[in-house]
Amino acid sequence: ALALTDHDAVYGAVRFVRAAREYGVQPILGAELTVSGGPIAGHHHLTLLVENQTGWHNLCYLISRARHAAPKGQAWLLFDELVGCTDGLIALSGCRQGALSRALAGRGGRDQALSIARKFLELFSHEHLWIELQRHYLPQDRMLIPRLAALADYLNLGCVATNNVHYATQDRYRLQDVLVCIRHLAPLDKATHLRRLNSEYYLKSPAEMTSLFADYPRAISNTQALAERC
């Protein structure tokens, strides 16, 4: 199975589904939404996976609302827009820009993260909210992953291991850096703040992911459980 979760859009859904079926891969649809307000200041990311037809309808509606709320070419979803529009959707807590990760890595700490998680639970329930673990060999990983896992245990939530994929193979990271700089009209030598810190953001194999999360085997097995639900 493979999920496509573009930022605030589902533009590639049709081509993705056709290609996945051609190669015998189960396609999972979703999006990484930019959410504004709510449990944490500023914008944060929330990944939603489509479980069924109702979820697809709700995801498309939420993306439309996010586009409507922002200037052309941008999107941010007001947190309150999620109320009543989460049926059929599975929520992942998000990458390092997710509300929970930002709280745990910031001054808010565990208390703020607990408050945020409980607000998400009101929207999604225990069966539809999962704590996302990502390991890209970044300085904060050693601190953040155990804290996220402990939070999940405390709230009786499941963890799921993911990789923040932005290119297919590891050697494509240089091309992605160039494309990002083109997008922002910035030269490579002055775009350190725009580029990713390493080349770990590629599509890792099942064996690589299993090795990467050997200390959290349930987070790997849960990926299969989620795939079967979508």
Contact criterion met (CB below 8 Å) for 15 and 4: no
Strand partners, 31: 6, 48
Residue 180, both tokens: 């990002």
Contact criterion met (CB below 8 Å) for 45 and 94: yes
- What's the pLDDT at 73? 87
- What's the pLDDT at 92? 97
- Mean pLDDT per 10-residue interval, the chain, length 230 residues: 95 96 97 90 93 98 95 92 97 93 89 94 96 94 95 97 95 95 92 91 96 97 96
Classified as helix, coil or strand, 3 is strand
- What's the pLDDT at 37? 85
Region of residue 74 (left: phi > 0; alpha: psi -120 to 50; beta: else): beta
- What's the pLDDT at 10? 96
Distance CA 84, CA 134 (A): 29
- What's the pLDDT at 108? 78
Residue in this structure with the two tokens 């599975």, named with its chain if needed: 90
Residue 57 neighbours by CB under 8 Å, 6+ apart: 88
Outline where the chain has alpha helix (H). Answer: 13-22, 53-68, 99-105, 109-124, 141-155, 173-183, 206-212, 217-229
- What's the pLDDT at 228? 96
Residue pLDDT, tens place only, 74-103: 999 999 999 999 999 999 998 899 999 999
Residue 147 neighbours by CB under 8 Å, 6+ apart: 104, 110, 113
- What's the pLDDT at 107? 81
Residue 227 neighbours by CB under 8 Å, 6+ apart: 1, 26, 28
Distance CA 149, CA 65 (A): 32
Contact criterion met (CB below 8 Å) for 185 and 191: no
